[in-house]
């Protein structure tokens, strides 16, 4: 199970690797770190308090819908026993 920022990263990284290959994943990781270090030094994370609760909820709900849509094809054409196993877990 993934949640919060990890889920958003997983959705973005999956498309990146699918479209460009694993070699771009390393470059994207380095580029992300180049942005993340100055952001942390300047303490820009405090700007998140200006994002409304409605916007945050919309983002999280859209993320849940995207994850569901990506996983939905895995649930098509499976036996009824599969659904029983998922429910008991």
Question: How far is the C-alpha of 80 from the C-alpha of 26, rounded, in Å?
Answer: 40
pLDDT given at position 34: 95
Position 4 scores a pLDDT of: 59
What is the reported pTM?
0.57
pLDDT, block means (10 residues), the chain with 89 residues? 66 84 89 92 92 90 84 80 67
How far is Cα 53 from Cα 31, in angstroms, rounded to an integer?
29
> 24: Cβ–Cβ under 8 A, 6 or more apart, which residues?
16, 17
What dihedral angle (degrees, nearest 10) is formed by the CA atoms of 36, 40, 41, 45? 130
């Amino acid at each position: 199970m993934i949640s919060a920022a990890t889920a958003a990263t997983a959705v973005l990284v999956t498309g990146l690797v699918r479209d460009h290959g694993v070699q771009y994943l390393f470059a994207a990781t380095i580029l992300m770190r180049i942005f993340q270090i100055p952001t942390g030094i300047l303490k820009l994370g405090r700007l998140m308090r200006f994002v409304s609760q409605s916007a945050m909820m919309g983002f999280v709900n859209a993320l849940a819908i995207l994850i569901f849509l990506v996983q939905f094809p895995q649930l098509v054409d499976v036996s009824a026993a599969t659904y029983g196993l998922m429910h008991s877990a």
